[in-house]
């Protein structure tokens, strides 16, 4: 029988623990979010982050800017937030409009407030096998989910599909840090199936349906990070859940799998950065 990796349940458990922890703090932790443009998906994500934070007693301020905002305006806001000791965590929602230099903006965030692990200092630490100030939210959320179900990556073949800076690359690195043997596949990978068939854990982060039940072993753990909208308007993942869930040992659904874990992870990181900043200020 397949086990469904329930991200909603684990998110609720993590948030409950965090809420209790935050209640015990003298000062509220604070998360600042920068949102540029009117991408509907980004607006939905940001609203959800703000609502979740506030539900835990974390202060959350969203700074919204029009699509044609100057890069300098964003850089100035980040500088101001960096210098504001009441702000513990800063998140710049991606994607940013084309005219804005994403790397420059992200890298302007003070590394100790970089809640996404996007700055070069934190990514550098991550890829050097050192501890960043906070781990990237989605890969960390995937690991929380695997831990909850007692799935150990040591010595396992973890196949990641997708090489984005947001998910694929850090996911591969974090699995490697757990002593997995890691293969990262992408759009130029030849003979994808021959690789996925050897996966103990298959993590797909592509954004289109491409994982079918003949692509993996029976005892595979399938993690679906993909999110897209089907013709019927419904949210769906990269995995054909109908067929794959009948075959494998574990599977994360979409929605209700990795998505809720990303937000839980963001809250964990906000509290972590807050605690480290308090410690440093003592
Ligand atoms: N856009 C899509 N996912 C994310 C995320 O995890 N963090 C940020 N900052 N932007 C995103």
Q: Is 166 in the pocket of ligand 1 (CB under 6 A)?
A: yes
Q: Is 210 in the pocket of ligand 1 (CB under 6 A)?
A: no
List all residues 6 or more positions away from 164 whose beta carbon is below 8 Å from its beta carbon. 205
210 and 238 in contact (C-beta within 8 Å)?
yes
Q: Give the distance (Å) from ligand 1 centre to CA of residue 194.
A: 31
pLDDT at 230: 87
pLDDT at 197: 98
Q: In 10 A of CB 281, how many CB atoms?
A: 7
Q: Is 225 in the pocket of ligand 1 (CB under 6 A)?
A: no
pTM of the predicted protein model: 0.98
264 and 234 in contact (C-beta within 8 Å)?
no
pLDDT at 67: 97
Helices of type H across 178-256: 192-196, 241-244
List all residues 6 or more positions away from 240 whose beta carbon is below 8 Å from its beta carbon. 209, 211, 212, 213
Q: Give the distance (Å) from ligand 1 centre to CA of residue 91.
A: 8
Provide the residue-wise pLDDT of the chain in tens; the chain has 282 residues.
999 999 999 999 999 999 999 999 999 999 999 999 999 999 999 999 999 999 999 999 999 999 999 999 999 999 999 999 999 999 999 999 999 999 999 999 999 999 999 999 999 999 999 999 999 999 999 999 999 999 999 999 999 999 999 999 999 999 999 999 999 999 999 999 999 999 999 999 999 989 999 999 999 999 999 999 988 989 999 999 999 999 999 999 999 999 999 999 999 999 999 999 999 998
Strand partners, 200: none
pLDDT at 231: 87
The residue whose C-alpha atom lies closest to atom 2 belonging to ligand 1 is 94
What are the percentages of helix, strand and coil residues in the chain, rounded to 5?
A: 45, 15, 40
221 and 202 in contact (C-beta within 8 Å)?
yes
The residue whose C-alpha atom lies closest to atom 7 belonging to ligand 1 is 93
Residue 60 host element (H or E): strand 59-65
With the most atoms of ligand 1 within 8 angstroms of its CB, the residue from 78, 115, 136, 137 to mutate is 137
175 and 182 in contact (C-beta within 8 Å)?
yes
The order of strands in the sheet holding 89-92 is 59-65, 30-36, 89-92
Q: How far is CA 154 from CA 132, 150, 177, 205, 227, in A?
A: 21, 12, 9, 21, 28
Cβ burial 151-171 (10 Å sphere, 16+ → b, else e): bebeebbbbbbbbbbbbbbbb
pLDDT at 47: 97
């Amino acid at each position: 029988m397949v086990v469904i990796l329930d991200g909603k349940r684990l998110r609720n458990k993590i948030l409950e623990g965090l809420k209790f922890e935050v209640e015990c703090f003298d000062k509220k932790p604070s998360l600042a979010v920068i949102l540029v443009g009117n991408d509907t998906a980004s607006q939905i994500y940001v609203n959800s982050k703000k609502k979740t934070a506030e539900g835990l007693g974390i202060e959350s301020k969203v700074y919204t800017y029009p699509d044609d905002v100057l890069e300098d305006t964003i850089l100035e806001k980040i500088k101001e937030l960096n210098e504001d000791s009441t702000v513990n965590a800063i998140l710049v929602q991606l994607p940013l409009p084309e005219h804005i230099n994403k790397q420059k903006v992200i890298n302007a965030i003070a590394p100790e407030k970089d809640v996404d692990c996007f700055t070069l200092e934190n990514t550098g630490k991550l890829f050097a096998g050192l501890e960043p100030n906070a781990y990237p939210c989605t890969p960390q959320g995937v690991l929380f989910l695997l831990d909850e179900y007692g799935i150990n990556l040591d010595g396992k073949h973890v196949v990641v599909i997708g090489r984005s800076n947001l998910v694929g690359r850090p996911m591969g690195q974090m699995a490697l840090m757990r002593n997995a043997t890691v293969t990262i596949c992408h759009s130029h990978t030849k003979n994808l199936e021959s690789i996925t068939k050897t996966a103990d854990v298959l993590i797909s982060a592509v954004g289109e349906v491409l994982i079918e039940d003949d692509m993996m072993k029976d005892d595979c753990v399938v993690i679906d990070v993909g999110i897209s909208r089907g013709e019927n308007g419904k949210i769906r993942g990269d995995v054909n859940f109908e067929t794959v869930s009948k075959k494998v040992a574990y599977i994360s659904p979409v929605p209700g799998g990795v998505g809720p874990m990303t937000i839980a992870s963001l809250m964990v990181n906000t509290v972590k950065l807050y605690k480290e900043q308090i410690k440093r200020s003592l």
